[in-house]
A and B are shown apart, each in its own frame.
Chain A
Amino acid sequence: DSGVTQTPKHLITATGQRVTLRCSPRSGDLSVYWYQQSLDQGLQFLIQYYNGEERAKGNILERFSAQQFPDLHSELNLSSLELGDSALYFCASSGDRGETQYFGPGTRLLVL
């Protein structure tokens, strides 16, 4: 158990809908990362937050947004969902140096 929690575990929704994925980092970790993993794309970095502020941005679509709250939990919002958004979404957290990331169990999103 990495200490990172993600909810929900599974999510089934329809195209055009909007969903919110939630992540709680390990106790004491200030950084939260979001990744998307699909069969044909591998693990793709989406975005990183550090203590509430956006720190780095990867291949995140404009339809996607994220935030980190004062209690350090983070949410990833996916809107206008398309079939191609079906994937595993992982959250990871790290301490100050950011060199070791601890991944959560993931949220499996299926868009029908």
Chain B
Amino acid sequence: SQKIEQNSEALNIQEGKTATLTCNYTNYSPAYLQWYRQDPGRGPVFLLLIRENEKEKRKERLKVTFDTTLKQSLFHITASQPADSATYLCALDGERFGAGTRLTVKP
């Protein structure tokens, strides 16, 4: 059966460092992969989309990579700030969501 795994439930980093979150999947070949940010008690907010034929996408301090051979996506936040603290979800084809990684950026 299809499975989506985000590397860890929680990730703590120091302000200014780069946060790297991982999304692995099995038994599925998505046409695209999305990353969302979710704050407690609120709906997810779309951040980035990367298609199966794209290797990397950037938006301001965010970077996403997509390796369809490894079946893995990496999500990077550079120069992290305390305001980046949230849960980050990956989603395959907009329907299958990972459980999320809760990122805490400490000042």
Contacts and interface: CB of A to CB of B under 8 A. Distances in A.
A42 B98 contact: yes
Contacts of B34: 99-100
Secondary structure type dominating chain A contacts: strand
Interface string A28-60: 000001010000001111001000000010100
Contacts of A58: 95
B44 interface: yes
Q: Give the size category of B's interface with A.
A: 10 to 19
Nearest to B48: A100
Contacts of A90: 43-44
Q: Give the size category of A's interface with B.
A: 20 to 34
A8 interface: no
A101 B89 contact: no
Given A42-B100, A99-B49, A56 B95 contact: yes
Contacts of A106: 41-43
Given A2-B43, A99-B32, A101-B46, A42 B94 contact: no
A25 interface: no
A71 B66 CA distance: 38
Given A43-B89, A45-B95, A58-B95, A102 B100 contact: no
Given A43-B89, A99-B34, A99-B49, A92 B97 contact: no
B99 interface: yes
Interface of B: 32, 34, 41-46, 49, 89, 94-100
